[in-house]
Structure 1
Amino acid sequence: MTTSAEHEYEDELSRVAAEKFGWPELRPEQLRAMALLMAGHDVLAVLPTGAGKSAIYQVPALLLDGPTVVVSPLIALQRDQVDGIAGSAAPAAVAVNSALRAAERDQAWRSLREGEAEYLFLAPEQLAKDDLVAELAGLGVSLFVVDEAHCVSAWGHDFRPDYLRLAPVIARLGRPRVLALTATAAPPVRADIAQRLGLREHREVVTSFDRPNLNLSVRRCADEAARRAAVLARAAEPVRGRGLVYTASRRDAEQYAADLAAAGVRAAGYHAGMKAADRDQVQERFTAGELDVVVATSAFGMGIDIPDVRFVLHAAMPESVDSYYQQIGRAGRDDEPAEVVLFHRPRDAALQRFLTSSPPPADTLAEVARAIEDHDGPLPPGEPEELPPARRTRAINLLEEAGAVSAGADGHVEYADPGLTPAQAVAKATATAEARQRLLRSRVRMMGGYAETTGCRRQYLLGYFGEPHEGGCRACDNCLSGVAEPRPAQDAEFPPNSAVAHREWGHGVVVSAEGDRLTVLFDEQGYKTLSLAAVRERNLLSAAD
Structure 2
Amino acid sequence: MIKLVCLSFSELKLLFVTPEKISNSERLNDVFQSLYQNGLLARFVIDEAHCVSQWGHDFRPDYKRLNLLRTKYKDVPIMALTATATPRVRKDILHQLGLNSPKWFLSSFDRPNLKYEVLPKSGKSSLVDIIALIKTRFSNQSGIIYCFSRNDCDSVAAQLKLNDIKAAAYHAGLQDSVRSDVQTKWISDRIKVVCATIAFGMGIDKPDVRYVIHYSLPKSVEGYYQEAGRAGRDGEKANCLLYYNYGDMHRVRKLIELDKDGTPASKQTHIDNLWRMVAYCENRTECRRAMQLNYFGEKFSREKCKSRPSTTCDNCLSQEEYNQEDLTEVAKSIVKTIGEICGDRHNTSWANNFTSTHIVDIFKGSTVKKVLTSGHDKLTIYGLGKSWHRSDADRLMHKLTLEGFLDETHVATKDGIVNAYIKLGSRAVQLLSGQVKVSPSGSHLINLATNFLPNQLSLP
Interval containing the TM-score (normalised by the shorter chain): 0.5 to 0.7
Give the drift of 1:200: 2.1
Choose the corresponding residue for 2:104, options 204, 208, 224.
204
Output the TM-score relative to the length of structure 2.
0.66
What's the counterpart of residue 435 of structure 1? 265
Matched residue of 2:16: which SS?
strand
Whether 1:135 and 2:34 are equivalent positions in the alignment is no
Q: Verify: 1:235 aligned to 2:66, yes or no.
A: no
- Whether the 8 Å CA contact 1:442–1:528 is kept in 2: the answer is no
1:130 deviation in Å? 2.2
1:145 Cα deviation after fit: 1.0
Partner of 2:17: 122
CA deviation string 1:29-67 (max 9, x = no partner): xxxxxxxxxxxxxxxxxxxxxxxxxxxxxxxxxxxxxxx
Aligned with 1:441: secondary structure? helix
Moved >4 Å (runs of 4+): 514-522
Give the letter for the 1:235 counterpart. I
Partner amino acid, structure 2, of 1:528: S
Q: 2:151 aligns with which of 251, 259, 263?
A: 251
Match runs of 1:437-452 below 5 Å: 437-452=267-282
Contact kept? 2:209, 2:230, Cα under 8 Å? yes
Residue in structure 2 matched with residue 457 of structure 1 by the alignment: 288
Which residue of structure 2 lines up, in the alignment, with residue 372 of structure 1? none
Identify the residue that residue 419 of structure 1 maps to in structure 2: none
Is 1:274 matched with 2:274?
no
Alpha-carbon spacing, 1:194–1:451, altered in 2? closer, same or farther (3 Å)? same
**In 2: Cα distance, 1:521 partner to 1:462 partner:** 18
1:478 aligns to 2:323 (yes or no): no
Q: CA deviation at 1:236?
A: 3.3
The residue aligned with 1:307 is: 207
Opposite residue 108 of structure 1, the aligned amino acid is V
SS, match of residue 310 in structure 1: strand
Distance 1:240 1:484 in 2: 37
Say whether the 8 Å CA contact 2:280–2:449 is kept in structure 1.
Answer: no
| Residues 220 and 343, structure 1, Cα contact 8 Å, conserved in 2 | yes
2:30 aligned with 1:109: no
Instruction: Give, in whole Å, the separation in 1 of the partners of 2:200 and 2:166.
Output: 17
**CA distance in 1: counterparts of 2:5 and 2:180, whole angstroms:** 23
What are the superposed Cα offsets for residues 287-306 of structure 1, whole Å, 9 maximum, x if unpaired? 11211111111120011121
Kindly provide the CA deviation profile for residues 462-507 of structure 1, in whole angstroms up to 9, marking residues without a partner as x.
111111112242311111123489xxxxxxxxxxxxxxxxxx99xx
Q: Distance in 2 between matches of 1:338 and 1:482?
A: 23
Q: Structure 2: how far apart are the matches of 1:484 and 1:133? A: 62
Paired residues in the alignment total: 326
Could you report, residue by residue, the CA deviation over 1:341-384 in whole angstroms, capped at 9, with x for unpaired residues?
0011121122221121137x6xxxxxxxxxxxxxxxxxxxxxxx
SS of corresponding position for 2:291: helix
**For residues 172 and 253 of structure 1, what CA distance do their matches in structure 2 show?**
44
CA contact (8 A) 1:442 1:526 kept: no
**Candidates 230, 240, 247, aligned match of 1:330:** 230
Specify whether residues 521 and 452 from structure 1 end up closer, same or farther in structure 2 by C-alpha distance, changes over 3 A only: closer
CA-to-partner distance for each residue in 1:301-348, whole Å, 9 max, x for gaps? 011121111110011011111111001111111211111100111211
User: Residues 87-486 of structure 1: matches in 2 within 5 Å?
Assistant: 96=1, 105-111=2-8, 113=9, 115-127=10-22, 128-140=24-36, 141-222=41-122, 224-237=123-136, 239=139, 241-358=141-258, 394=261, 433-454=263-284, 455-472=286-303, 473-474=305-306, 475-483=312-320
For 2:158 and 2:86, the matched residues in 1 are separated by 38
* Alignment deviations for residues 148-179 of structure 1 (CA, whole Å, 9 cap, x no partner): 11110001111000112111233213441000
How many Å separate the matches in 1 of 2:214 and 2:76? 41
* Whole-Å separation in 1 of the counterparts to 2:268 and 2:104: 29
How far is 1:439 from its partner?
A: 1.4
The alpha-carbon distance between structure 1 residues 275 and 484, as it changes in their structure 2 partners (threshold 3 A), is farther
The question of whether the paired residues in 1 share the 8 Å contact of 2:219 and 2:277 is answered with yes
Q: Structure 1 residues 109 and 255 mapped into 2: Cα distance closer, same or farther (>3 Å)?
A: farther
- The answer (yes or no) to whether the contact 1:443–1:527 under 8 Å persists in 2 is no
Residue 206 of structure 1 aligns to a residue in which SS? coil
Calculate percent identity across the aligned residue pairs. Answer: 38
Counterpart contact for 1:155–1:439, Cα < 8 Å: yes
**Is 1:528 paired with 2:458?**
yes
Gaps of 5+ in 2: 307-311, 323-425, 428-445
Asked if 2 retains the 8 angstrom alpha-carbon contact of 1:249 and 1:297, the reply is yes
Read off the aligned partner of 2:5 and give its amino acid letter: A
2: CA distance, partners of 1:217 / 1:307: 21
CA pair 440-446 structure 1, distance change in 2 beyond 3 A: same
Residues 191 and 302 (structure 1 numbering): CA distance in 2 closer, same or farther, change over 3 Å? Answer: same
Distance 2:301 2:106 in 1: 20
Distance 1:129 1:221 in 2: 46
Question: Hey, what does 2:435 align to over in structure 1?
Answer: none
Matched residue of 1:268: which SS? strand
Is the CA contact 1:358–1:437 (under 8 Å) kept in the aligned structure 2?
no
Q: Is the 8 A contact 2:119 2:241 kept in 1?
A: yes
What is the deviation of 1:529?
A: 5.5
Q: Aligned to 1:201, what secondary structure does the other structure show?
A: coil
Q: From the superposition, tell whether residues 175 and 313 of structure 1 become closer, same or farther in structure 2 (CA, over 3 Å).
A: same
Conservation of the 8 A alpha-carbon contact between 2:290 and 2:299: yes
AA aligned to 1:468 is K
- Whether contact under 8 Å (1:125, 1:162) holds in the other structure is yes
- 1:344 counterpart letter in structure 2: Y
Consecutive unaligned residues in structure 1, runs of 5 or more: 1-95, 97-104, 362-393, 399-432, 486-503, 506-513, 531-545
